Amino acid sequence: MDQKALRLLESRCIQEEPPACQCACPLHVDVRTFSRCMVQGLWEEAWKTLKKTMPFPGILGRICDAPCRDVCRRKEAGDAVEIGLLERACVHTPAPVQRMPVLPRKRQRVAAVGSALSSLTAAWDLARKGYNVTLLEPSDRMGVYLFEIPDEVLPRSVIETEMEALFVLGVETVCRFSLDWDALEEIRRRFDAVYLGLDGLTFWGECDTGEPWPDAALTRISGLEGFFTGGLALEGNSFSPVWRSAEGRWAATTIDRCLQGVSRTAGREKDRPYSSRLYTAMDDVSVLPAITPQDSVAGYTENEAVQEAGRCLQCECLECVKVCPYLKHFGGYPRKYAREIYNNDSIVMGSHKANRLINSCSLCGLCEVVCPENFAMQTLCLKARQDMVGKKRMPPSAHEFALMDMQFSNSDRFAMTRPDPETGIASHLFFPGCQLCASAPEQVRDVYAHLRRVLPLKSVGIMLGCCNAPAFWAGDDALFQKEFSALKEQWTALGCPQIIPACATCYQMFKCHLPEADVISLWQVLEGAGLPAGALPLKLSAPPAIHDPCTTRHEPEIHDSVRRLLNRLEQPFEELKGNRSHTACCGFGGLMQNANPELAGSVVRHLAHQHPADYVTYCAMCRDNLAASGKRALHLLDMIFPSPDEADPAGRRRPGWSQRRENRSWLKNILQQTLWKESPENMEPYENIALSVSPEVQQILENRRILISDIQRVIYHAEDSGQKLCHPDTGHFKAAFRLYNATFWVEYSISENGFTIHNAYSHRMEILRKGP
Q: Which CATH number characterizes residue 700's domain? A: 3.30.2310
Q: Tell whether the model's pLDDT for residue 214 goes beyond 80.
A: no
Q: 644 and 661, same structural domain?
A: no
- Cα–Cα distance measured from residue 202 to residue 207, given in angstroms and rounded to the nearest whole number: 12
* Mean pLDDT, range 499-507, rounded to an integer: 98
Q: What value does the mean pLDDT take over residues 701-715? A: 95
Give me the phi and psi of 693, to 5 degrees please. -130, 120
Please check whether residues 433 and 574 belong to one and the same domain.
no
> Taking Cα atoms as reference points, which of 466, 454, 467 lies closest to residue 428?
454
Q: Is residue 187 part of a domain?
A: yes
Which residue type does 115 have? S
Encode pLDDT of 95-124 as tens digits: 998 788 889 999 999 999 999 999 999 999
DSSP-assigned states of every residue in 247-279: HHHHHHHHHHHHHHTS-SSTT-TTSS-------
Mean pLDDT (whole number) for 175-194: 85
d(CA 694, CA 747): 13
Sign of CA dihedral 42, 43, 44, 50: positive
Which strand ranges, in their side-by-side order, compose the sheet holding 742-751? 691-693, 754-763, 742-751, 733-739, 725-726
Instruction: In whole angstroms, give the CA distance from residue 308 to residue 292.
Output: 9
Q: How confident is the model at residue 381 (pLDDT cuts 50, 70, 90)?
A: very high
State the total domains in the chain.
6
Residue 97's Cβ-side half-sphere holds a number of Cα atoms within 13 Å equal to 0
DSSP strand pairing (460-464 vs 416-418): antiparallel
Return the SS3 of 110: strand
Q: Residue 423 — pLDDT band, cuts 50, 70, 90? A: very high
Would you mind telling me the total number of residues written for the chain in this entry? Answer: 772
Q: Which residues does residue 229 pair with via DSSP β-bridges, in sequence order? A: 196
Rounded Cα distance, 222 and 471, in Å: 69
In this prediction, residues 16-36 reach a mean pLDDT of: 97
> What pLDDT is recorded for position 505?
98
pLDDT class of 647 with cuts at 50, 70, 90? confident
Q: How far apart are CA 413 and CA 427, in angstroms?
A: 26
Q: How confident is the model at residue 766 (pLDDT cuts 50, 70, 90)?
A: low
Residue from 335, 330, 387 nearest 8 by CA: 335
121 and 231 assigned to the same domain: yes
Q: CA-to-CA distance for 170 and 368, rounded, in angstroms?
A: 54
Contact 672, 679 (CB under 8 A): yes
Is 481 in the same domain as 463? Answer: yes
Does 512 map to a domain?
yes
From residue 506, how far is each of 503, 522, 583, 671, 734 by CA, in Å?
Answer: 5, 11, 18, 21, 41
Range of the domain at 553: 545-651
| Judgement on whether residues 477 and 623 belong to the same structural domain of the protein | no
Peptide bond into 556 cis (omega under 30): no
Residue 101 lies in a domain: no
* H or E, element range at 473: helix 469-474
Output the pLDDT for position 476: 97
Mean pLDDT within 613-632: 97
* Helix (H) or strand (E) run with residue 351 in it: none
Q: What pLDDT sits at residue 68?
A: 96
The answer as to whether 205 is a domain residue is: yes
Contacts of 331 (CB under 8 A, 6+ apart): none
Identify which has the larger pLDDT, 26 or 396: 26
Largest CA distance in the chain: 120
| Domain termination residue (choose one: 341, 362, 390) | 390
Q: Are residues 526 and 409 in the same domain?
A: yes
Residue type, 382: L
Average pLDDT over residues 246-258: 94
Q: How many CB atoms lie within 10 A of CB 234?
A: 11
Tens of pLDDT, residue by residue over 741-764, are: 889 999 999 998 999 999 999 987
Helices (H) and strands (E) in the chain, counts: 33, 18
| 365 and 412 housed in the same domain | no
Per-residue confidence at 205, pLDDT binned at 50, 70, 90?
very low
Check pLDDT > 70 for residue 352: yes
679/137 Cα distance (integer angstroms)? 106
pLDDT average, residue stretch 322-343: 95
Nearest by Cα to 629 from 610, 647, 646: 610
Distance CA 400, CA 158 (A): 70
Over 90: is that where the pLDDT of 538 sits? no
3-class secondary-structure state, position 634: strand
Contact 690, 748 (CB under 8 A): no
pLDDT cut 70: percent of the chain above it: 95
**Domain stops at, among 340, 357, 390:** 390
Domain boundary among 632, 665, 698: 665
- Give the model's confidence band at 566: pLDDT under 50 very low, under 70 low, under 90 confident, else very high: very high
Answer whether residue 203 shows pLDDT above 60. Answer: no
How crowded is the C-beta side of 447, counted as CA atoms within 13 Å?
28
415 and 515 part of one domain: yes
Instruction: Give the contacts of 474 (CB within 8 A, at least 6 positions apart).
Output: 385, 389, 394, 398, 399, 402, 403, 591
Are 483 and 507 in the same domain?
A: yes
| Alpha-carbon span 239 to 234, nearest angstrom | 10
pLDDT of residue 728: 95
Chain centroid to Cα 209, Å, comes to 63
Q: What is the DSSP letter of 501?
A: E
- Please check whether residues 378 and 446 belong to one and the same domain: no
CB atoms near residue 45 (< 10 Å): 16
Q: Which of 237, 276, 271 is nearest to 257 (CA)?
A: 271
Give the pLDDT confidence score for residue 771 in this predicted structure.
56
Write out pLDDT tens, residues 49-74.
999 999 999 999 999 999 999 999 99
DSSP 3-state of 763 = strand
Question: How confident is the prediction for the chain on average, in pLDDT?
Answer: 92
Q: Residue 221: which pLDDT band, with cuts at 50, 70 and 90? A: low
Contact 652, 440 (CB under 8 A): no
Confidence of residue 395 (pLDDT cuts 50, 70, 90): confident
116: left (phi over 0), alpha (psi -120 to 50) or beta: beta
Determine the pLDDT at residue 185. Answer: 81
Instruction: Give the pairing type, strands 742-751 and 754-763.
Output: antiparallel
pLDDT tens-place string over residues 453-488: 999 888 999 999 999 999 999 999 999 999 999 999
Classify residue 182: in a domain, yes or no.
yes
- Pair 401, 660: CB distance under 8 Å: no
Beta bridge partners of 761: 745
Does the structure show a pLDDT above 70 at 447? yes
Q: 732 burial class (0-12, 13-18, 19+ CB within 10 angstroms)? A: middle
- Residue 629 and residue 661 share a domain: no
Give the containing element (helix H, strand E) for 207: none
Domain membership of residue 289 (yes or no) is no
Q: Report d(CA 545, CA 576) in Å as an integer.
A: 6
Q: State which amino acid sits at residue 314.
A: Q
Residue 206 has pLDDT above 70, yes or no: no
CATH of residue 157's domain is: 3.50.50.60
In the predicted model, is pLDDT for residue 768 greater than 70? no
Give a yes or no: residue 288 inside a domain: no
C-alpha–C-alpha distance, residues 696 and 690, integer Å = 18
For residue 236, pLDDT beyond 70: no
Strand (E) or helix (H) holding 62: helix 57-63
Report which DSSP code applies to 204: S
Q: Is the pTM of this model over 0.85?
A: yes
Closest CA relative to residue 24, chosen from 246, 191, 297: 246
Distance, in Å, from the CA atom of 302 to the CA atom of 37, rounded to the nearest integer, reads 12
Task: Examine the domain organization and report whether 614 and 701 are in the same domain.
Answer: no
Question: Is 451 a domain residue?
Answer: yes
Output the CA–CA distances (angstroms, integers) from residue 350 to 3, 344, 385, 500, 764, in the order listed: 21, 10, 18, 47, 20
pLDDT range class, residue 735, cuts 50, 70, 90:
very high
